[in-house]
């Protein structure tokens, strides 16, 4: 028969090993993030995109390490996956508006219903498109006011592209306003 003291010692030993592995994995994640940052610094990618990608790589490595450390500590894989599933559901519900704008931004960048330089109207905002991002689109009005419109709005509101016909609807030149 196994005594309580033996079980406590085994649990304490697993916990100590898990803690050491967590510290090692955290250092590995920092090293990988530093390596990634140095690798992408040589590219012409946007600084903000490089920062976001670096954080995603770091977070992904930490998640893999957390799963590994929890496994060492004796937590079952089913419990870990269930916890991540619930956390993912809660997170997706919390950021659903941001996700809507993100996927709408992907649509705008691939479908291209308007281009940078086009004059568009969405709701009461009329102006030239200055930037189309993943989350929002920037429009400069005639009064030189910069309006940042969430991309999700382009899915639910009609958009008038006032320069599409002037450029034949096919021009890739953003300055072709006719």
pLDDT of residue 164: 66
Considering only 31-35, 114-118, 164-168, which range has the smallest mean pLDDT?
Answer: 164-168
> Quick count: other Cβ atoms within 10 Å of Cβ 159?
17
Q: What is the mean pLDDT of the chain?
A: 84
Task: Give kind and range of the element (H or E) at residue 122.
Answer: strand 119-122
Domain covering 103-161, topology: SH3 type barrels. (2.30.30)
175 φ, ψ to 5°? -90, 0
In this structure, is the dihedral angle defined by the CA atoms of residues 100, 134, 128 and 175, taken in order, positive or negative? Answer: negative
Helix (H, G, I), strand (E, B) or coil at 119: strand
pLDDT at 177 over 50: no
Question: What angle do helix axes 77-94 and 96-111 make, rounded to 10 degrees?
Answer: 70
Tell me the CATH number for domain 4-94. 1.10.287.1260
Task: Note the Cα 5 to chain centre separation in Å.
Answer: 48
- Per-residue pLDDT, 29: 93
CB-CB contact of 151 with 138 (8 Å): no
User: How far is it, in rounded angstroms, from Cα 170 to Cα 128?
Assistant: 18
pLDDT of res. 174: 46
pLDDT digits (tens, 9 = 90+) for 127-155: 999 998 888 899 999 999 999 999 888 88
Distances (CA, A) of 148 to 13, 46, 49, 88, 151: 55, 19, 19, 29, 9
Give residue limits of the domains in the chain.
Answer: 4-94, 103-161
- pLDDT exceeds cutoff 90 at 163: no
């Amino acid at each position: 028969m196994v005594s309580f003291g033996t079980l406590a010692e085994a649990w304490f030993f697993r916990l100590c090993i898990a803690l050491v592995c967590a510290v090692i994995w955290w250092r590995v994640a920092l090293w990988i993030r530093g390596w990634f940052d140095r690798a992408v610094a040589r590219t012409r990618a946007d600084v903000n995109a490089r920062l976001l990608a670096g954080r995603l790589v770091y977070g992904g490595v930490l998640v893999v390490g957390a799963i590994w450390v929890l496994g060492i500590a004796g937590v079952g894989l089913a419990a870990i996956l269930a916890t991540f599933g619930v956390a993912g559901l809660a997170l997706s519900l919390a950021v659903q508006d941001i996700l809507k704008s993100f996927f709408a931004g992907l649509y705008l960048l691939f479908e291209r219903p308007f281009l940078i330089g086009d004059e568009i109207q969405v709701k009461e905002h009329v102006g030239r498109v200055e930037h189309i991002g993943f989350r929002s689109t920037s429009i400069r009005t005639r009064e030189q006011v910069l309006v940042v419109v969430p991309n999700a709005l382009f899915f639910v509101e009609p958009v008038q592209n006032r320069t599409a016909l002037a450029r034949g609807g096919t021009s890739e030149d953003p300055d072709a306003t006719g």
